[in-house]
Amino acid sequence: MTEGLIDPFGRRVDYLRLSLTDKCNMRCFYCIPKGFKNFRTPDEWLSFNEIQRIVRIFSEMGVSHFRLTGGEPLVRRGITDLVSQLSSIDGVDDLSLSTNASLLEHHALDLKVAGISRINVSLDSLQEKRFRDITGTELKPVLKGLMAAKSAGFNPVKINMLALKRLNDDEFDRMVEFCIEHDFTLRFIETMPMGSTGKAAGKYYMPLTEVRHWLEQRFELLPAMMPGGGPAHYVQVSGTDLRIGFISPISQHFCETCNRIRLSVDGTLYLCLGQSDRYELRPLLRRGISDDGLVNAISEALALKPQQHDFVSQPGKEVRIMSLTGG
């Protein structure tokens, strides 16, 4: 029995986020820069077989939670087949998906059948024009995708909303109502200075203490727990089933409990969202490395996991945009 993956700071890593693509069909102003062209080319993408192999090795090393993300994972063709393959690997206890939901209407049921257990959807506004201003795309397909996820039986569906001061802070009550109406879980997230876009978005940064204060003035908030809640602190709105999570990487960072690493579409392991420490697995895979060799490589990579990000102490530090790492 393995004790699992333990990093140099004694943290147990049991969660791998897998990026299926660095491309996205949206252009959220805080993420991929307009006109950005420097995407990985198809020959650099890990194949489904390579991804499957890496997931098998990680699960043998004690990692049990896997999340498919991107970019927008639903733009990668054949994702349902990949999900079927991954969900049948021994030790994969939880296979979840982060999506912008714009293509989910056509995939939700198949993904559920194939083995996705939980879905998170990014949604920063329920106003059509504002949604278009933020993402460069239309809101309607996203709402259809969300309803398809609900009909397919995903529960919970979590809505991830970046709290953006003077941009969407007049919509919190509408979002709360929307989530109560549809039985979604709502999570507020702080913007991070990732890439030039993330740094520029700093002018909309809103500490979630302010959001919580705003909510407390309107609702009675009870302490709550949430399975698979990760770093979010949860409350429940009294008299409803709504749970609200707060993810505060800036104002209350949670690095001391970090349990995750990320694999980008080109097979690079990123040990921290906010640091450049990385380890490339693709060259090893393509050189025919053995399973034992891969286990050693992953252990070497884990030894590089830094203690914490420097988003607060060094906000100007160069960090890649979210979509390149796998958000």
Specify the residue, 132 or 218, whose C-beta has the smaller distance to ligand SAM. 132
Specify the residue, 206 or 281, whose C-beta has the smaller distance to ligand SAM. 206
Backbone angles phi, psi at 210, to 5 degrees: -65, -40
Site residues (vs ligand SAM, CB under 6 A)? 24, 30-31, 69-70, 72, 98-100, 122, 160, 162, 189, 191-192, 194, 198, 201, 322-323, 327
Please state the closest distance from residue 180 (CB atom) to ligand SAM, in A: 21
Q: Rounded to the nearest 5 degrees, what angle is found at the Cα of 134, between the Cα atoms of 116 and 234?
A: 50
Specify the residue, 57 or 159, whose C-beta has the smaller distance to ligand SAM. 159
Q: Which helix (H) or strand (E) holds 223?
A: strand 221-224
Q: 42: which DSSP letter?
A: G
Nearest CA among 190, 186, 105, 88 for reference residue 142: 105
* Contact (Cβ atoms closer than 8 angstroms) between residue 5 and residue 63: yes
Specify the residue, 61 or 148, whose C-beta has the smaller distance to ligand SAM. 148
Specify the residue, 5 or 206, whose C-beta has the smaller distance to ligand SAM. 206
Please state the closest distance from residue 290 (CB atom) to ligand SAM, in A: 33
Q: Which helix (H) or strand (E) holds 176?
A: helix 172-182
* Cα–Cα distance measured from residue 15 to residue 57, given in angstroms and rounded to the nearest whole number: 13
Please state the closest distance from residue 103 (CB atom) to ligand SAM, in A: 10
Please state the closest distance from residue 265 (CB atom) to ligand SAM, in A: 12
Residue type, 221: L
Please state the closest distance from residue 115 (CB atom) to ligand SAM, in A: 19
